[in-house]
Amino acid sequence: MSRMALGLLALVAPLQRSAAASVGMPRRFPGFLGAAAAAAFFTHAVLPRALRTWGATQSEGSMPLPGDDLIPDPDEVQTMAVAISARPEQIWPWLVQMGVDRAGLYSYTWVENGLLHLGVTNADRIHPEWQDLQVGDIIAFMPERYPGGRMGPRVVALESGRHLVLDSSPGAAPGRVTGTWQFVLHDDGAAGTRLLLRSRSGPGRPVGLRVTDFLLRPGYLVMERAMLLGIKKRADSEARTETAVVGA
């Protein structure tokens, strides 16, 4: 075969491959859409359904908890729970010192720092200087240096060793609660403590925030589950250390 013929083939071959690819693309497109639809269904239907009552018994999911009265008719309710081998008073300090600019949120720092650049350091000990949490204080989800400044849910009720209720209602009218975070400690006797986390949202939540809630809810649930496990890990470890010291 002449050099000219070889040259023509070299020019035509890429065009043929490009044409074949363009013909194959429409055939692959439905498959791509199907995979995307399946991923979206899993992320926004299956995953939230699996995690919204993660760890909670049926009775824990339906029982009234402190803070429920703030949103009498909620649109969304999630109740998670975890068993901790420690007394409520041993778990309480880990709750009140939370915040991205304090002891952290005990969740995935690769998300908080790697993706969101929050500068979180999750504490592995109880800090006495962060124990004086009061009604009206904010548990920061965003640090001071972030656009908009230090922001997060506001403490609306707390009882040491029993419950911590937070108002998470950004953009709502003054005095109106459209979202809550409710940490409740149930004494489980010799077994330790049941730590419940209930989040509720209700009427009056801005449309933009509702869209954000829907899109990010799977991520919220995954991070909240990690937070409960992070609290459990730290409180369990602290309780074992205290028991070992007493028994020594």
Q: Which residues of 25-63 are buried (b: 16+ CB within 10 A; e: fewer)?
A: eeeeeeeeeeeeeeeeeeeeeebbeebbbbbbeeebbee
- How confident is the model at residue 231, as a pLDDT? 98
- How confident is the model at residue 191, as a pLDDT? 87
Q: What size, in residues, is the chain?
A: 248
**43 DSSP 8-state letter:** I
Strand order in the sheet with 154-159: 76-84, 193-201, 179-187, 163-167, 154-159
Question: Of 152, 196, 155, nearest to 61 (Cα)?
Answer: 196
User: Helices 207-247 and 88-96 meet at what angle, rounded to 10?
Assistant: 130
The full set of domain ranges for the chain reads: 1-51, 56-247
- How confident is the model at residue 18, as a pLDDT? 46
- How confident is the model at residue 31, as a pLDDT? 53
pTM: 0.78
- How confident is the model at residue 46, as a pLDDT? 53
Q: Which CATH superfamily is domain 56-247 in?
A: START domain (3.30.530.20)
Report CA-CA distances (Å) from 60 to 81, 82, 113, 130, 215.
8, 11, 33, 30, 26
248 residues of the chain, pLDDT tens digit each: 444 443 433 444 444 444 444 445 455 655 544 444 444 444 445 555 566 889 999 999 999 999 999 999 999 999 999 999 999 999 999 999 999 999 999 999 999 899 888 999 999 999 999 999 999 999 999 899 888 889 999 999 999 999 999 999 887 777 889 999 999 999 999 989 999 999 999 888 878 877 877 777 788 889 999 999 999 999 999 999 887 776 65
- How confident is the model at residue 49, as a pLDDT? 59
Q: In the structure encoding, which two tokens stand for residue 140, read together?
A: 């920061």
- How confident is the model at residue 172, as a pLDDT? 79
d(CA 203, CA 217): 17
